[in-house]
Structure 1
Amino acid sequence: MGLFSAPLPEVVSLPKSRQDVLAEVGIRTVGDALLFVPRRYEDFRAKPLEEVRVPETLSVVGVVQAHPKFSRFRGNFSRLATTLDVGGRTITVVWFNQPYLRERLIPGARVQVAGRYDPKSRQLVAQKTRFSAEGIATESLTPVYGLPGRGADAWFSELIRLLFSLPDLEIPDPIPAALREKYRLLPRGEALRTLHFPQDERELFWAKRRMAFEEVFLYQLKVLAARNVRVRTRRVREHRFRPEEVLELASRWPFTLTGAQRRAIQEIFADLLGPYPMNRLLQGDVGSGKTAVAALAIYAVVRGGRQAALMAPTEILAEQHVRTLRGLLPEDVPIALLTGRTPRREREEILYGLAQGTISVAVGTHALITEHVRFADLGFVVVDEQHRFGVVQRRLLAQKGDVPDLLSMSATPIPRTLALLLYGDLDVSVLDEMPPGRTPVETHWTTPERFADVLTFVDGQIERGRQAYVIAPLIEASDKLEYQNVVDLYDRVRNFLPRRRVGLLHGRLSGREKDRVMRAFVAGELDVLVSTTVVEVGVDVPNATVMVIYDADRFGLAQLHQLRGRVGRGSHKSYCILVADPRTELGRKRLQVFRELTDGFQIAEKDFELRGPGDLFGTKQSGLPEFRFTQLDSPRELRMLQIAHEEAERLLADSAFWETEEAVPLREALAGVHEEAGQLWD
C-alpha cells in the first residue's frame, strides 16, 4: 500500500509530544491521519465591512491597535475590549469571559475574529478568535478536529497539508471505478482533500456524499461477507433432540404460546437441526414472550446433552432471567447465575460445574466472558438486548464453544426493510403478536403546565400501593437544550410528594449506586423512581403502574414505546402519561400516533414514515452501526443504503473481480473486520 500505510514518523518529522497526541486518537500511519476528517467546520470567511448594512454574524481579519481594556464584574463576569484596523477601517471588538486573551491581544498582532457585528456602533462581539500563529483562513471553511491540547487542530491541519503535498502519495480507493462512474462519486483522494480543506458548502456536500457511500458500501460488503462465511461453515457438532418432545414442555406452562412464538420456535429448531451454525435475531415487542422462546431453544440444546449460556446487560436482568428460566424449565436442568456479585466460593463451584458439564445453563453478565469461564460443551448462546454488547463481547462468549449457535434478542422494533439492510448477516424472527390477557397501557398526553395534576394522580396510585416512574431526557441542565433535566425533576417530585420515597437514577451514577437504587425500587422500598432512559431496557416491576415521560417529544417513538413497556407488567391497570408541548405539527402528530397505537412494529413503521429511520431509536440504543457520514435520517440516505446493498451483493457474486488488482484496496478494507473474509475469494 506504499506511503499510505507507512508509519507517520517514518514519513515526516514529528516531536514525541505530537506523536503521543495522535496515538491517543488512533493515528499512527499516513492513512490514519488522512482518514481522520474534521468533526465540524467554522466559517471564518471574511466579508468587506462596507457591505454590511444591518447587524449580522461575520468574520474579519485585522491588526490590534491598542492593549485591551479589561473589566471584571460581579460573579466572575469579565470583558475585554480593543480596537482593530480592518482594511483601513477601525472597529471595536469586545470579548466576554475570555480574560486569557489579554496577553495575546498586543498591538500589532494580526487576528481573525468571528462574531456579531453592528455597523452602526462599529462594534463586534467576538465568538471565535484565531491568531496568525494558528492559521488565518479567510476564503474557506476552517476544520475543527477536536484533538486534545491547545493549538493541536492548527498543527494537525498543517500536517495534513504536508502529507497531501508528498509526490509519492497514492491514496487507495476501495470503491471500484465502475461504481464511482455509475453514481458520480469523487475519487477517494479528492474527497479526503476536500474534507480537510473545503472551499464552500457545495464542495463539502459532494465529498461527504462520496465518503457516505463508501462507509455504507463497505458495511454491506462486511455484513454479506459474514453471511457467506457462515453458510459455508459446517456445524462442528450436531444437536440431538426431537422438537415434539421439547414442545411438550410448553404444554405444561400456565400460558399458551402465541402463533408468532410458535413460528419463531420452528425457525430456531430448523436452524439448530440444520447443517450450519445459527446466527438469528429474535426481535419482539416489550412483553411479546422472547424469553419463553429462548427457554425452549435452551431446553432443546440441553436435552441433546450440550450446554447453553444466556448473557444479559445488567445483574438485575440476569437475576430476573434465572428466576424465569427456573419457572419454565424442568427442575432437573441445572441453572447457575454468574455475575460480578457472585461470592467467591459459589463462583468457584459454578466454574467447576461448567467445566465438568454438570451445570447445563449459565446465565450472567459480562462475567461469562472472562478467561476463567470454561464450558465442557457450549452449544448455544443467547444474548439479551444484543445492542448493549459489542461484536467483540458476543464473539468472546461464542468462542467458549466449538462454533455454538447464536440467538440475539432485541426489544427495539425495527421496520423489516431497515432490519434486512442493517442486520443482513442475521436471520430475523419477529414476535409481532402479544400474549392473550395482557392489559394495554392507557396512554394520555398533557402539557407541562398541568404537571402538578400528574403528580397528584401519581400520589393517588401510590396510596393504592402502586409505584411510578418519572422520566426526563437530560441528566443536568443544558445551555443548548431547553429540556427538563432529571436532577431538577427529582427535586420537584420530592417537594410535591414529601411523604413519598423518591429515588434518583441516571447514567452518571456509579454501577454500584445504580444497582442499589434499582434494587430498592424492585423491592418496593421506593414509591417513585425519577430517572433518565437507563430504565428502558430491563427489569420487571409488576407493581409499577404509572410511567410519566417529561418532554416526551424529545424521544423517538420506539424509545417511548420501550419506556411505556416498563409498566403494565402485572395484573393492575397501568398508565403512561406524556408531558409535552411540541412546537411543531410533526411533534404533535407523532405524540398523537403514539397515543393511538400500542403495537411496537406499527409505531416503528409510522415513525419511519414520518421522520425517516434516523430518529426511530433514540441515542445509541438500537445497536445500529455508528456511521460517520451517514445519518439514515432521510429517504435519500436510506436509498443509498439499499443501492450499496445491491451493489455489494453483485460484487460478491463476481468471483473474477476479486482476482483483479483493482480489488486489492477493497480486500484490505474488509480484512480488518472479518478475518474469515479471505475465504470468499481465495
Structure 2
Amino acid sequence: MDSSHLAAVSPEPPTPQGLAHADRFRGDRSISTHLERLPGVGTTRAQRLQPLGLVTVRDALIHFPREYKDFSGAHAFTDLSEGAHAAVSGVVTDIASRTTSRGQQMLTVVVKGTGGSVRGVWFNMPFMAKKMSVGMRVVFASVPKRVGHVWEMTHPEVRVCADGEEQGREEWLAVYPLADGVRQSDVRLAVRAAIDHAGDLVTEAFPAAMLAAKSLLPIADAFREIHFPTSVATMAASRRRFVYQELFMLQVALRMHHSQQETRHAAPALPINAKLDSRIRQRFGFHFTAAQRRVCGEIAADLARTQPMNRLLQGDVGSGKTAVAIYALLATVATKVASSVPSDTDVADTQAGEVGGMSYQAALMAPTELLARQHMATLERLLKGSHVNLELLVGGQATKRRQQAIDRIASGEAQIVVGTQALVCGSARFKNLGLVVIDEQHRFGVVQRGTLQQDQADPHTLLMTATPIPRTIAHAVYGDLDVSTLDEQPLGRQPVGTYRVAPEQLDAWWEFFRKKLREGRQGYVVVPAVEESKRGLESISSAFENLSNGPLEAFRLGLVHGRLSTKQKQSMMEAFRTGELDVLVATSVIEVGIDVPQATLMTILDADSFGLAQLHQLRGRVARGAVQGICAAVSASAEQSHPRIDAFIATTDGFKLAEQDLRLRGPGDLVGTRQSGAPPMYLADLLRDASVVAEARRDAIELYDRDPGLADESLQRLKELILDRWGETLGLGQVG
C-alpha cells in the first residue's frame, strides 16, 4: 500500500516529480534500506513480513498501529488468563538456551514477581539473551498460555525497567495489522529496527511556522511516538499529526483540482429558462418533490455558467436521482451548439441537424451493463414518440453494432448516449459533449471523472450516488465537488418492513413468503456467492435448486448472476419485469438501480455476509411500488452477534446507516481509488476525526487561497509530496 503522503516519504524509484533523494541517505543509513539488512530482522523474518507490504525501512515506518495495549507491567500474576493480553513485571531468575529436536535455538527466561512467575520463550532469536541478565527487573507483555503448571509467553515484548522506576509506570504497546503467518513480535521488531536505523532521516513536510501554529509534532518525533508512545498524550499527539497531514494534503490536492477545472477549459453555457423547465417536467408522469425541485435549480444554475459543473448528487434509495439526471440530460440536448440558448421547440421534438442547428450531446454512464440497459429503457419509455436520438454503448454489443454507435456519437447524431465504462475505456469520441452524468460514482473512481473531457472544452459533470455520505465525509473525499442532497422520498412511498429471521424461523418465513406470492406479489431471493466459498455460504446454484425443489417449488423461479451472458441476464430480467416469473433468485447484481415496482418481497440469505450499505441497497429493490415492501435478513446463527443486521432492521434511513457502516467497517473506498490505483484513506477515521477533517479543510482553503501555486520556498517539500501522492490520480500536473 502506497501511503507516502502520511509519512512525508515519497515512493522510489523513480518519483513522478523527480524528488531529490540526497536528504535520505547518511552514510549507510537510508529509508530505502531493505529490512533484511537490519539487526534482528534477517532474511527469514523479512520474508514473513512481505505479505504486509513491508520490504524497506520506509514501509515499516508507515505501517501504523491499529490499537495499543498496556505495557506498564501492572497486571497481577494471579489475574492471568489464557488468550487475554497481559503485561507483568518481575525479576529475571533464570536464563537458559538449548537446541530443540527440530534444530531450533530456544531461549527461555523466567521472570518472578509478586504472586507468581512467567516463562518467556523465543525461537531462533539468540540476541534476546544479551538484553537480559539474572536480577534484572523487566516487563513481559504478550498473550499467556498455561503449559503444565507454568504460565508461558511466546516471543513476548520486553521492556527493561529503569532504576528506581515506580511500579505501574504508564507504558503502551502498539498492536499492528497482520497477515497470515506474521506475528506481532515480527512487526514490532522490524519497526523498532527501522526507527533506530533511519527514523531521523525522514524530511519534514510542514514548515516550522506551521508546526508551531498547529501544535504538530515534528515528523521524527511523531514516528517514534506513534509506534512506541511514552504516554497517552504523546500517543494522541502523534496520531493527530499523521491524520492532519493526510487530510490536509488531500484537501490541498482537491483545491488544485477544482482550480484547474475552473480555469483549464470553458464549458458550454446551457441555460434553462422557465419555458424549457416546464416542458421538461411535463415529460414525467408525476410531480417532482420539493427536494428534486431544489436540486434541479442548483443544477440549472451550474449549467448556465461556462465554468464546468462539478456536482455530486447524493440521495437515499428511491429518492428520485434518476429523474433529476434525466432533467439535466434533456436540458442539455435542448440547447443548440451555435447559439447556446435553449431551443424554442419542445424538448421532445429536438433533433440533430447540420452544424449550426446541432444540439449538445449528453452521456449517462452506469457501473453495470444491466443498469445501463435499464436507464436506456427508461429514456425510451419517457421519450416515446419524440425525435431525441438515443444511443446505447456497452461492452456486450456486437462489433458492427458497436462501431455504428461510435460513428453516431462522433458525428453528433447521437444526442443522449447511455453506456458503461466502454465510454471511458473504448474509442468513443463526442462531437459536442455538454454533460456527463455518472451513476453510482463510488464505483468508478476519481480518475475516471476527467476521461470524457474534450480537447476544446470540458463538459459539465454530475456524479450520482445512492450510498449516502455523511457531510463530514463528503467534505473530506469530495472536497472539490459541490454537493446536492435529495433528502425527501416521493409522496406515498412507504418504508420497507425489515425483519431478522433466525434459522429456526425460516420455515415460518417461507410460509409467509408463499402467502404473499399467492396474493399476486413478486419477490427476490438474494444469495451472496456464485460458488461455494470457504466460509460455507450457500451458492446461488444450490440455493436455486433447493428453493425450486423445496419451499418455492409451486412458483416460477428465475436465476440471475454476474456470470451469465448479457443476453441471458437481460432476458431473465425482462421475464421477471413482465410477470412471467414469480421469484428471481439473484446475487447482488440486482443491488443497484433495478426497478420492478410489483416486486415487493425480498429474502436475503446469509445476510451477515453482506455489508450494511449493500444490504440497504438491496432492500431498495422492494421499495419501488405503491404496496409496502417486506424484507427478511436471514442470519446464519441465532447465537452470534450481528451488529450490521441489528442496524439494518433498526432503520430505513440511508444516511444513518451510512454513518453506522463507517463505524463498523471504516471509510473504505469512498474516494473511488481502488479502481484508479491510488490508495484509500489509511490512518484517518473520518467519523472519529470529524473535527480534524473540518480543521484541515479550513487550513487547506486558507493556504491555497493565499498561495495557489504553493510557490513559497518553505512549502516546496509539501508541494512535492502532494503532487507525488495525488498528481496522477487527480490529473494535477505541475502546479505553480
TM-score normalised per structure 2: 0.70
User: In the TM superposition, what are the counterparts of 1:442-591 in structure 2 within 5 Å?
Assistant: 442-444=497-499, 449-470=504-525, 497=551, 499=553, 511-512=563-564, 520=572, 523-524=575-576, 528=583, 535-549=590-604, 560-578=615-633, 590=647
CA pair 494-203 structure 1, distance change in 2 beyond 3 A:
farther
CA separation in 1, counterparts of 2:127 and 2:684?
A: 45
Contact in 2 for aligned 1:241/1:303 (Cα 8 Å): no
In the other structure, the counterpart of 1:116 is 144
In the other structure, the counterpart of 2:9 is none
Match of 1:614 among 640, 663, 683: 663
CA pair 165-415 structure 1, distance change in 2 beyond 3 A:
closer
In the other structure, the counterpart of 1:138 is 158
In the other structure, the counterpart of 1:347 is 402
In the other structure, the counterpart of 1:253 is 284
SS, match of residue 214 in structure 1: helix
1:331-364 Cα deviation digits (max 9, x unpaired): 3222111111111110111111111222122211
1:96-141 Cα deviation digits (max 9, x unpaired): xxxxx9xx789999899954333872264x7xx65xxxxx852384
Match of 1:86 among 79, 98, 109: 109
In the other structure, the counterpart of 1:315 is 369
CA separation in 1, counterparts of 2:407 and 2:418?
A: 15
192-201 or 486-495, which deviates more: 486-495
In the other structure, the counterpart of 1:228 is 259
Match of 1:172 among 194, 197, 203: 203
CA separation in 2, counterparts of 1:318 and 1:41?
A: 43
Match of 1:410 among 443, 453, 465: 465
In the other structure, the counterpart of 1:37 is 63
CA separation in 2, counterparts of 1:616 and 1:443?
A: 22
- What code does the residue aligned with 1:670 have? I
CA pair 177-582 structure 1, distance change in 2 beyond 3 A:
farther
SS, match of residue 643 in structure 1: helix
CA pair 24-243 structure 1, distance change in 2 beyond 3 A:
farther
In the other structure, the counterpart of 2:301 is 270
SS, match of residue 118 in structure 1: strand
- Are positions 1:303 and 2:334 aligned together? yes
CA separation in 2, counterparts of 1:180 and 1:494?
A: 66
- What code does the residue aligned with 2:382 have? L
In the other structure, the counterpart of 2:431 is 376
**Once the 2 structures are TM-superposed, how far is the Cα of residue 62 of structure 1 from its aligned partner?**
6.9
- Are positions 1:366 and 2:421 aligned together? yes
Contact in 2 for aligned 1:282/1:431 (Cα 8 Å): yes
SS, match of residue 669 in structure 1: helix
CA separation in 1, counterparts of 2:463 and 2:708?
A: 35
CA separation in 1, counterparts of 2:205 and 2:157?
A: 32
In the other structure, the counterpart of 1:77 is none
Contact in 2 for aligned 1:473/1:486 (Cα 8 Å): yes
CA pair 450-502 structure 1, distance change in 2 beyond 3 A:
same
In the other structure, the counterpart of 1:76 is none
Match of 2:215 among 184, 209, 226: 184
**Once the 2 structures are TM-superposed, how far is the Cα of residue 629 of structure 1 from its aligned partner?**
1.2
Gaps of 5+ in 1: 70-79, 96-100, 131-135
CA separation in 2, counterparts of 1:441 and 1:222?
A: 41
CA separation in 2, counterparts of 1:11 and 1:617?
A: 30
CA separation in 2, counterparts of 1:470 and 1:618?
A: 29
TM-score normalised per structure 1: 0.75
CA pair 459-414 structure 1, distance change in 2 beyond 3 A:
same
Contact in 2 for aligned 1:381/1:398 (Cα 8 Å): no
Contact in 2 for aligned 1:468/1:545 (Cα 8 Å): yes
330-339 or 669-678, which deviates more: 669-678
1:62-91 Cα deviation digits (max 9, x unpaired): 75657469xxxxxxxxxx999974338999
In the other structure, the counterpart of 1:281 is 312
SS, match of residue 621 in structure 2: coil
Greater fraction of residues in helix: 1
CA separation in 2, counterparts of 1:264 and 1:115?
A: 56
CA pair 50-13 structure 1, distance change in 2 beyond 3 A:
closer
1:245-271 Cα deviation digits (max 9, x unpaired): 253132143222233222222221221
CA pair 85-443 structure 1, distance change in 2 beyond 3 A:
closer
In the other structure, the counterpart of 2:717 is 665
User: In the TM superposition, what are the counterparts of 1:386-425 in structure 2 within 5 Å?
Assistant: 386-399=441-454, 402-416=457-471, 418-425=473-480
CA separation in 2, counterparts of 1:83 and 1:165?
A: 27
CA separation in 2, counterparts of 1:678 and 1:82?
A: 54
Q: Identity across aligned pairs (percent)?
A: 32
CA separation in 2, counterparts of 1:299 and 1:338?
A: 19
**Once the 2 structures are TM-superposed, how far is the Cα of residue 386 of structure 1 from its aligned partner?**
0.5
Contact in 2 for aligned 1:556/1:617 (Cα 8 Å): no
CA pair 399-106 structure 1, distance change in 2 beyond 3 A:
same
- What code does the residue aligned with 2:368 have? T
Contact in 2 for aligned 1:5/1:29 (Cα 8 Å): no
Contact in 2 for aligned 1:503/1:530 (Cα 8 Å): yes
In the other structure, the counterpart of 1:72 is none
CA separation in 2, counterparts of 1:521 and 1:622?
A: 31
Contact in 2 for aligned 1:54/1:119 (Cα 8 Å): no
CA pair 39-83 structure 1, distance change in 2 beyond 3 A:
closer
240-249 or 399-408, which deviates more: 240-249
CA separation in 2, counterparts of 1:515 and 1:620?
A: 31
1:348-381 Cα deviation digits (max 9, x unpaired): 1111111122212221111111242211222211
Contact in 1 for aligned 2:60/2:194 (Cα 8 Å): no
Contact in 1 for aligned 2:362/2:416 (Cα 8 Å): yes
CA separation in 2, counterparts of 1:10 and 1:171?
A: 8
CA pair 523-588 structure 1, distance change in 2 beyond 3 A:
closer
SS, match of residue 362 in structure 1: strand
**Which structure ranks higher in relative contact order (CA pairs < 8 Å, sequence separation ≥ 6)?**
2
Gaps of 5+ in 2: 1-19, 38-42, 89-93, 131-139, 160-171, 336-358, 674-678
CA separation in 1, counterparts of 2:670 and 2:519?
A: 34
CA separation in 2, counterparts of 1:65 and 1:48?
A: 31
10-19 or 533-542, which deviates more: 10-19
Aligned residue pairs total 639
- What code does the residue aligned with 2:150 have? R
CA separation in 1, counterparts of 2:177 and 2:662?
A: 27
In the other structure, the counterpart of 2:681 is 627
Contact in 1 for aligned 2:391/2:418 (Cα 8 Å): yes
CA pair 425-434 structure 1, distance change in 2 beyond 3 A:
same
1:199-230 Cα deviation digits (max 9, x unpaired): 78765443222211111222222233333343
CA pair 522-62 structure 1, distance change in 2 beyond 3 A:
farther
CA pair 439-164 structure 1, distance change in 2 beyond 3 A:
same
- What code does the residue aligned with 2:62 have? F
CA pair 399-393 structure 1, distance change in 2 beyond 3 A:
farther
In the other structure, the counterpart of 2:699 is 647
CA pair 138-452 structure 1, distance change in 2 beyond 3 A:
same
**Once the 2 structures are TM-superposed, how far is the Cα of residue 317 of structure 1 from its aligned partner?**
0.2
SS, match of residue 138 in structure 1: strand
SS, match of residue 354 in structure 1: helix
- What is the root-mean-square deviation of aligned Cα atoms in Å? 5.3
- What code does the residue aligned with 1:37 have? H
Contact in 2 for aligned 1:229/1:679 (Cα 8 Å): no
